[in-house]
Structure formats: structure tokens, C-alpha cells
A and B are shown apart, each in its own frame.
Chain A
Amino acid sequence: MNIRRAAAVARRIFMDLKNDKRTVALIVLVPIGFMVAFGFVFQGDVKDVRVLVVNNDNGGGFGNKSISDRVIANIDKTTLKLENATNKSEAIAAVQNGKAYAVIVFPDNLTESVSGTAQSPPPVANTTANETATPTANVTNQAVARQGQVNIQVLTDNSNIDVSRAVTTAVNAAVLKTANETGQTPRLSVDTSNAIYGQNARFIDFFCPGLACLAIWNITTLLTLEAFVGERTSGTLPRLLASPLRESELVAGYSIAYGTLGIIQSALLLAVGVLLFNITIEGNIALAFTTIALLAIVSQALGILLSSVARSEREAGQFAPFLILVAVLLSGIIWPLEAIPEWLRPASYLIPTTYAVEAMRSVMMRGWGLSMIWIDIAALLVFASAFLVLAVIMLKRRA
């Protein structure tokens, strides 16, 4: 391997970019655009869900405030937009007409029951799917009321799982807070306030490492694919293959260039993430960059491999949806691998982004070091070596 020749290939790619504003824009703007677009639009947290409150609570006890008022005061108002309804049937009709997502019904004896019976258990949010609105989801979240227990009924439209889950979580949290305030703490409770990793993590913190991998995987593979198809159709590849440049030097030159570009792109993406969305980076940033550079090298080698089956740059572009789909569906970018059906999970382990996403997330959110993510790094190295060797073999093959 002659490093000078490989460096000449890498230098030529950068010189090319210097005059190719469209590609530079793609390289710079796509990662920034990805981060900005997904960061603002796709935060994953549900907000402003319209919920109707039927408050039949007669009050009494607990100073000036009834239990229902306390629960209402404790409900997270960013998540739920509460409105009063006069009676239950009217409120249910509103859900059935699509005007609200849920109904919270406070029973008339709520405060009385809670304050009057010192030993009685605290109120419980009894979440029931609105069977008329979504007949298929009528058992979801149904809590079984125990004897003597006071129930706050929550009827939800489960046609949107994320929304109904947000309602349930908000009401449960408010009930728990109210129980604490009024000394009604249950004997048995679950405390999730202390996380081992990702304390106060938001969806964007979880999503950012995956987004970085998705951007690099997609852009790098497509750019190399297009560039290499261009080398074939313009005749530069035959000229190079007839020159002293070895196939391995050509592939190495591409790796140097696109590995570097991958690092620049992820730096941009992470910079936007930190500056605009204050994303978490717990671990060593250099390790995150190493991971992303490896993914870029894997992706560019894949691009070279795919170029052998694309006859034109137009055909090269047809790989884009396939690349995005495979990565998004199977490599844990949006949902965890555990959410993928078991029979399909082995496919996830055949995709390089799976390892890159896991490693990036572990470094950024858990602060893990190389000793913890070495398996992912090793997997990426295996992919990189295999794809690079295959790319060289493919170029060496003389038909």
C-alpha cells in the first residue's frame, strides 16, 4: 500500500468538493437539518392534550381544598389541557366526537371518603378505555378497584396510544403527589425518581445518538455510491485501474476522505444538538467521534460495493429509501431492539447501524468508556474490514 497514492485520492475528493457546492450543502446542511427538524418537531413528548374534567367531588375536610382540586392543581398542565364538563355523559360524547382525548371523573364522595376514613387507602386513578370510542382497546389500563377504595375514573380514547399513555401518566403522577401532600402515601409504592443513567433525559437525548448514526449512514453511503458510479461512467475508474494505483489504495483514499467527512458531519450534528437542544453527552466525545468515523468508513465501503449494481447516478439514488428504512426500522434508532419481533431481531444484528447506535447512546447517555462498548466497536471493525476487503476484491475482479 502506497500511502502517498491513497492520500492523493483523498485530497482529490476534497478538491472536488471545494467546487461542488451542491454536495457540500448536502454534507453540511443535512446533519444540521436533521437535528433541527427532528429536535423541534419530533421531541416525543405529548403536549396540550384536551381532557375534560367532571368534578362531582363535594369537598369537605383537608382544609380549604378538596382532594379533586388538589389533584387538578397537581396535574401537569403542559401535558394536559383541562376543561370542565358538567356531567359524565356530555364529556364522553365530546370524546366520541373527537373533541377531547379523555375524561376524568371525580366521584362525589372523594374528599369525604379520603379524609373521613383515616385507614382507607388513597385514591386511585382508575383508567378505563372509552369502549365506545375505541372498542378494540377497552381493557387497556383498567385498574381493578379494591374494596373500600376511592376511584378517580379516567376514560381515555386509546386510538392514540401515546396520547392516552400521557393522560394516564399525568393523572397518576398528580394522584401520587396529592397522596403525599395529604399524608395518604400508600404503604407500597414505586419510586422511579432516581435513574442510574439518563437522569432527566428527554426523548431528544435518546434520539440524538441514533439520529447522528442515521445521518452519517445515509449521507456517506449515498455520496460514495454516487461518486463511485460517477467514477465508472466518466471513465476515471478504468483510467485509475490501468494506472499504478492499487485497488486497496483507491478504497483507502475514499475511506480517509469519507471518514473525515463523517466526523465533520457528526461534529456539526452534535454541536446543533448541544447548542439548540442542550442534549446530554456524558461520556468521552472522542469515543463518540471514533464510533461515527468507523460507521462512516463502513458506509463508504458499502457505497463502493453497491456501486457495482448501479449503472447510473439515478439508479444510485434509488438505494436511498432502502438504506433509511433498514436503519430506522431495525437498528434501534427510534425504538429499542426489544420492540422488534424476536424472529426479526437477528436481522438487526446484521446491520452496522445497530452497533453504532448502541455505542453512541452508551457513550453519550451512560458515559460508558471503551471497556464497556468494545463489542459494538469490534462489530463495527468487523463490518468495516469485511466491506473494505469486499470492495477491493470487487474492484480487482476483472470480468
Chain B
Amino acid sequence: MEKDYVETIGLEKRFGDARAVENFTLRVKKGEIFGLLGPNAAGKTTLIKILCSLLKPSAGEAYVLGKRVPNADIALLVGYMPQELALYTNISVHENVAFYGAIFGLTKNRIDEREQKLLRLINLEDQRDTIVHNLSGGTQRRVSLACALLHDPPLLFLDEPTVGVDPQLRESFWNYFEGLKGGGATVFITTHYMDEARRCDRVGFMHAGKLIAEGSPHGLLDLTQTDSLEDAFLVLSQEARR
């Protein structure tokens, strides 16, 4: 049986009286691309923040790479791309990459090697020395992704990585995610784009803090007797409201 890279059991997160995550139980296996779908304020980002040890659960348990979180020991093995840009905009693309590389303990040679590979992937080889604030929003997202992939982590948490990225580049992002998966990495991704969800091995629908359904994209279409994941989501969220 494949090992679980992410596991939550009855996870709950409250902010005052509001419940951002509620009774959330989920397993993500090694080598999977798992897509978490849901409207704004569904609790997707809160869940990712708990898994990245940035927030403490109010109740329940969460395990990442077999370790209960929050846990500082797994940081080296996890790549995290927040929803915000999370780049230093006054310095160049290369300086950002070199900084995050140093934080992850990479040698200078290793940083150069990874930088070359990643800039090729995000099609930014000629912008290496451009100051980040001079780049367009979509291009900045590409740099942000490169920084999350820099240390070649076996597990990636990507919080809406393709927002503001043009369709062509989104395609190349997804090709790369699939390549990572082929290399044995696990990708946990949140997204608004239903076409992207189709490319996930499994998707979870999140609504008002709860996981209302999960399964393979085909399985969810069959379950709801719909043609698109968008419709499937609408059917399931209406059922959840009842």
C-alpha cells in the first residue's frame, strides 16, 4: 500500500466563532496530484496553512510525511507557494532565487543548476536579472513557483499557483507538475479552474470548511451524473447545504 503523504483526521480550525475548517478527514498518497476545489472562503488556504505548520489546528489531527503538524522538522521536505506573491519585489529574479536557495541550505552550484532548470521551465531565462516589480503579475507568479520548487521537495503545497497566469503557461505548469509526479513527488494544489481539476488524480470539493466529496474527477462526474466538474460541484454543494 502507498504511504500517505498527507493525512487529516477530524481536523478543525476555528477563528473565534467562525469555523474555517470543520471535521476534515482526508488522505493524500505519495505520488498523487491532489486538487482541492472550492469557492473563496471555503477554507482551502487555512487547510494548506495548517499542513505547512503555519497555523495550529483547533481540534483533530493532521500529519504531513508521517509527522504530526505543526512540525519544524519537515520544512526541508515541503515546498510551499502561498496565495500571495511571497517574493521580494525590490530585488531581481536571481536574487530571490539565491535567497530562498540559501534559506533551504543549497550550495551556490546547486542554486545555479536549479535556477537554470527552473527559469527554463517558466520561460524566464532572459529575465534572470530583472527586478521583480518590473515584471507582470503573471510572470511574478512564475518566479514564485520557481522559488517553491527550488529545493526539489518531495511534497508541494501550491495555493492557487496559476491565478493570473496565461493559458499557455498554465499548460506548461501542469506539464511540469505531471513531470514532478512522475519523479515520485506529491502535489497538493488548490485551484478555481475546473479544467485544471480534471488533470488531478483526485480532487476534493471544499465548501464552508467541510470536505463535501472527494474522488477521481471521473468518479465525481459519475457520482453526480454531470458532464463537468463545475456542475458536479454545484450539485454536491447544494446537497451539502440541505
A residues sitting closer than 8 Å to B (CB atoms) are 2, 4-5, 8-9, 11-12, 15-20, 233-236, 238-246, 398-399
Contacts and interface: CB of A to CB of B under 8 A. Distances in A.
Where chain A touches its partner, the secondary structure class is helix
Contacts of B88: 12, 15-16, 234, 236
A235 B82 contact: yes
Given A235-B82, A398-B70, A399-B55, A243 B95 contact: no
Given A12-B91, A19-B131, A398-B54, A244 B84 contact: no
A238 B100 CA distance: 13
B86 A238 contact: yes
Contacts of A11: 99, 102
B82 A238 contact: yes
Contact of A8 (B81, B91, B99): B99
A273 to B, nearest CB: 31
A243 to B, nearest CB: 5
A255 B72 CA distance: 23
Given A8-B102, A20-B90, A234-B89, 12 more contacts: A4-B105, A12-B88, A12-B91, A16-B88, A19-B91, A234-B85, A239-B81, A239-B100, A242-B54, A243-B75, A399-B55, A399-B56
B148 to A, nearest CB: 8
Interface in B14-51: 15, 49
B102 A242 contact: no
A144 to B, nearest CB: 69
Contacts of B54: 238, 241-242, 398
13 contacts: A12-B99, A15-B95, A19-B90, A19-B131, A235-B84, A235-B85, A239-B100, A242-B52, A243-B75, A244-B72, A244-B103, A246-B72, A398-B53
Contacts of B216: none
A239 B75 contact: no
A9 to B, nearest CB: 8
A17 B56 CA distance: 34
Contacts of B72: 244, 246
B177 interface: no
Contact of A242 (B80, B85, B131): B80
Given A242-B80, A244-B75, A235 B103 contact: no
A392 to B, nearest CB: 13
A372 B81 CA distance: 53
5 tightest Cβ-Cβ pairs between the two chains A and B = A235-B84, A235-B86, A8-B102, A235-B82, A242-B52
B56 A239 contact: no
Contacts of A9: 103
Contacts of B53: 241-242, 398
Interface in B83-124: 83-91, 95, 99-100, 102-105
B90 A236 contact: no
Contacts of B83: 235
A238 B70 CA distance: 13
A11 B131 CA distance: 16
Interface string B64-82: 0000001010011010111
Interface centre among A11, A234, A238 (most CB of B within 10 A): A238
Nearest to B131: A19
Contact size range, B:
20 to 34
Contacts of B89: 234
A236 B86 contact: yes
A272 B104 CA distance: 43
A226 to B, nearest CB: 13
A176 to B, nearest CB: 62
A398 B51 CA distance: 12
Contacts of A244: 72, 75-76, 103-105
B95 to A, nearest CB: 5
A128 B181 CA distance: 93
Max chain A CB contacts within 10 Å: which of B85, B86, B103? B103
B55 A398 contact: yes
B163 to A, nearest CB: 13
B90 A234 contact: no
Nearest to A232: B84
A249 to B, nearest CB: 9
Contacts of B78: 242
A165 to B, nearest CB: 51
B228 to A, nearest CB: 32
A234 B84 contact: yes
Nearest to B148: A239
A186 to B, nearest CB: 69
B80 A239 contact: yes
A243 B86 contact: no
A233 B52 CA distance: 18
B81 to A, nearest CB: 8
Contacts of B104: 243-244
Contacts of B76: 244
A359 to B, nearest CB: 35
Nearest to A247: B72
Contact of B103 (A240, A398, A399): A240
Contacts of B147: 239
Nearest to A5: B103
Contacts of A233: 84
Nearest to A250: B103
Nearest to A13: B88
B78 to A, nearest CB: 7
Given A12-B99, A15-B95, A236 B87 contact: yes
A11 B88 CA distance: 13
Interface in B132-189: 147-148
- Interface hub of A8, A240, A242 (most chain B Cβ within 10 A): A242
Contacts of A398: 53-56, 70
Contacts of B56: 398-399
A75 B77 CA distance: 81
